[in-house]
Amino acid sequence: MKDETVLLGHGSGGTMMKRIIDDVFAASYGSEELAQGNDAAVLTAPAPGERLSFSTDTFVVTPHFFPGGDIGRLAVCGTVNDVATSGAEVKYLSVGMVLEEGFPMEELQRVCASIKTAAEEAGVHVVTGDTKVVNRGHGDGVYINTAGIGFIPEGRNLSGANCQVGDVILISGTLGDHGITVMSQREDLSFSTDLKSDAAPLNHLIADVLAAAPDARCFRDPTRGGLASTLNELAEQSGVDMVVRENDVPVKPAVLGACEMLGYDVFQVANEGKMVCVVPPEQAEAALAAMRGNVYGADAAIIGQVEASKPERGNKVFLETGFGSRRILDMLVGEQLPRIC
């Protein structure tokens, strides 16, 4: 580990975050489950054939309230989605609050109301929690940690290491909505079209896809680091290349315009209500129809395929441009949009 201090980029979801995870966390207290690199750990339960899915996440977004959601909704949806990527039926959540002295009680009540609403929508129960208060000036109003538990049906084995050559890549909707919305609110930027976060619980969408495409390889939500970082993680886990067709990736014109104006790569902008799915080619159309049949998958699309990699250069993600050329789609380096989740 060459970095002497913690930097914002270590929380970006890109190469710096991978470095601190590998060289500090995993090197210190890594386990077999942690080394698998999935969004949720799959654990063996006492009863034969039963398995648990467990994940945790911490939310520090600023501002706390934004079009389409707030830190409370984000905290529920983020953890529900991580647990659901294992194919589990998500059942229980914990909610830990770190509050700053002076945070308005009315705003705290709004956050808690959002937690209740999002949990009810996802069909999960908040069963335990914790509260800490820090001195005025030593926090940012409110930070939230959520952890979730779900139960995985026997025979289901989803993992980022399962992708095979010939598989098809899908995305459940438009890219970049959350990251650009939060950034525009923080910087008080106005665009011609109203933007709102895509924060949503996707456990029911995943269940719909699995019912239609039971041999799905994996799911992954492209949060910090965006689609680019997510696909690079999957390519490395599975030892393959991934190719994405630029013209097939759904992006709202307002989001694309904002990215072009501000110099952001939309493929590296965070999402909080989208899901990447990799499926065998013969089940791709069924998976797409299942996504589009869900309220949060209306803009779903097939965006690419899995290809064999060349050992001499390692596993890569390529973007096939509208001109027919290919360029490498790298993981995010550093921090593009800090404090967006």
Domains in the chain: boundaries: 36-152, 168-328
**In the predicted model, is pLDDT for residue 253 greater than 70?**
yes
Residue 48 has pLDDT above 80, yes or no: no
Confidence band, pLDDT 50/70/90 cuts, at residue 30: confident
User: 284-292 and 203-212 helices cross at what angle (nearest 10)?
Assistant: 140
Q: 25 falls in which pLDDT band (50, 70, 90)?
A: confident
First to last CA, the chain: 25
Least confident of 14-18, 105-109, 143-147, 204-208: 14-18
> Residue 338: its pLDDT value, please?
79
Q: What pTM did the predictor assign?
A: 0.88
| Mean pLDDT for the chain overall | 92
Instruction: Read off the pLDDT band of 46 (50, 70, 90).
Output: low
Residue 206's pLDDT band, with cuts at 50, 70 and 90, is very high
Evaluate whether the domain defined by 36-152 bears CATH number 1.10.10.10: no
Cβ–Cβ under 8 Å, residues 55 and 83: yes
Burial of 299 by CB count in 10 Å (0-12 exposed, 13-18 middle, 19+ buried)? middle
pLDDT at residue 192 in the model = 57
Rounded distance, CA 220 to CA 238, Å?
Answer: 14
Cα–Cα distance, 316 to 311 (Å, whole number): 11
76-to-38, 153, 198, 263 alpha-carbon distances in Å: 19, 22, 13, 31
Positive or negative CA dihedral for 7, 11, 14, 18? positive
Quick check: do 36-152 and 168-328 share a fold?
no
| Lookup result for tokens 């194919």 | 87
The dihedral sign for the CA sequence 221, 265, 17, 131:
negative
Query: What is the structure's pLDDT at 189?
Result: 75
Please, are residues 267 and 196 in contact by the beta-carbon 8 Å criterion?
Answer: no
| SS3 assignment for 76-88 | HHHHHHHHHCCCC
**What architecture is domain 168-328?**
Alpha-Beta Complex (3.90)
Least confident piece of the model among 100-109, 205-214, 314-323, 326-335? 326-335
CA dist., res. 123 & res. 70, Å (int): 19
Reduced to 3 states, what is the DSSP secondary structure of residue 244?
Answer: strand
